């Protein structure tokens, strides 16, 4: 009986050690990557996503739709091209990056979640876990925020978004199609500064990929109040503040 008791104690000890090692291994894996969690706010609010160099490289189709959007904006006919302003629809990616309101980043179980103060919108980046299965059997069904797959490259979180709806815009005017691909590289340039380096691709609308950078500053942790975009519109306030 004593021998059996001793063996049992050894087995339990081995299991506990394995669990401890597994736990510490997980902790090490999580601490190896920079901690992007926290509340952030854009440094320089802007309605436009500005290329790092030169003008946006429109194709003929892209230029035509862009010019059409400019005319619709001048006429105030927002529902014909910008349903974020007219119906409070999700701005999509990358336009969400331009929100002047705060957002919170948190990471749980292989998913990086962006919790936006604007209309309490949510965006998720799957990191190390499969994307949600296609339950409808229709392939990649376009959604307002698309599907984002992420991975770590050293100190940088890389996110690739595809499958976005063509009803969203790159910013307040720039159009795109179903083949939009947005690659984002998130990294801390210092403990309180977050950089989002954005690469936009869509062969139907842009003759080549183009880059932009948006910078955010860390904010005090806070619980966001409810923000109802439709209430703001009813009060004749901007749906998507600039």
Task: Dig out the tokens for 145 from the structure.
Answer: 């925020």
The per-residue pLDDT for 99 is: 96
The per-residue pLDDT for 131 is: 64
pLDDT digits (tens, 9 = 90+) for 26-55: 333 444 678 999 999 999 999 999 999 999
The reply to whether 157 falls in a domain is yes
CA distance 140 to 136: 10
The reply to whether 203 falls in a domain is yes
Q: Cβ of 57: how many Cβ atoms within 10 Å?
A: 15
Number of domains in the chain: 1
- Domain span at residue 121? 34-234
φ/ψ of residue 154, rounded to 5: 65, -120
The per-residue pLDDT for 170 is: 99
CA distance 195 to 184: 10
> What mean pLDDT is predicted for residues 68-78?
97
φ/ψ of residue 17, rounded to 5: -65, -40
Give 96's pLDDT tier (boundaries 50, 70, 90): very high
CA distance 167 to 187: 29
- According to DSSP, residue 19 is labeled H
The reply to whether 25 falls in a domain is no
Give 192's pLDDT tier (boundaries 50, 70, 90): very high
20-24, 137-141, 184-188, 194-198: least confident range: 20-24
- Angle in degrees, CA 47, 196, 120, rounded to 5: 60
Residue 92: name the closest of 38, 163, 187 by CA: 163
Q: Cβ of 220: how many Cβ atoms within 10 Å?
A: 7
> What mean pLDDT is predicted for residues 161-188?
97
Residue 93's CATH number:
2.40.128.20
The reply to whether 225 falls in a domain is yes
The per-residue pLDDT for 167 is: 95
CA distance 140 to 138: 7
pLDDT digits (tens, 9 = 90+) for 114-172: 999 999 999 999 997 766 665 545 556 789 999 999 999 999 999 999 999 999 999 99
The reply to whether 174 falls in a domain is yes
Give 204's pLDDT tier (boundaries 50, 70, 90): very high
The reply to whether 241 falls in a domain is no
CA distance 80 to 72: 7
Task: Dig out the tokens for 143 from the structure.
Answer: 């959604």
The reply to whether 26 falls in a domain is no
The per-residue pLDDT for 241 is: 83
The reply to whether 125 falls in a domain is yes
Give 18's pLDDT tier (boundaries 50, 70, 90): very low
């Amino acid at each position: 009986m004593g021998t059996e008791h001793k063996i049992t104690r050894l087995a339990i000890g081995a299991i506990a050690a394995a669990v401890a090692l597994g736990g510490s291994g997980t902790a090490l894996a999580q601490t190896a990557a920079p901690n992007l969690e926290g509340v952030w706010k854009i440094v320089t609010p802007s309605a436009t996503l500005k290329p790092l160099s030169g003008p946006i490289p429109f194709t003929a189709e892209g230029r035509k739709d862009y010019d059409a959007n400019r005319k619709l904006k001048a006429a105030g006919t927002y529902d014909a091209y910008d349903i974020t302003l007219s119906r409070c629809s999700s701005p999509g990616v990358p336009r969400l990056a331009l929100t002047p309101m705060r957002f919170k980043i948190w990471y749980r179980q292989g998913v990086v979640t962006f919790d936006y103060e604007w209309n309490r919108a949510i965006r998720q980046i799957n990191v190390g876990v499969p994307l949600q299965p296609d339950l409808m059997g229709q392939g990649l069904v376009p959604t307002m925020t698309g599907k984002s797959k992420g991975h770590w490259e050293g100190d940088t979180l890389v996110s690739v978004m595809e499958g976005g709806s063509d009803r969203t815009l790159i910013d307040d005017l720039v159009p795109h199609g179903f083949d939009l691909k947005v690659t984002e590289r998130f990294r801390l340039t210092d403990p309180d500064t977050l950089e989002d380096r954005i690469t936009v691709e869509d062969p139907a609308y842009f003759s080549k990929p183009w880059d932009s950078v948006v910078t955010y500053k860390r904010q005090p942790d806070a619980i966001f109040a409810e923000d109802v975009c439709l209430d703001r519109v009813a009060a004749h306030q901007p749906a998507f503040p600039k």
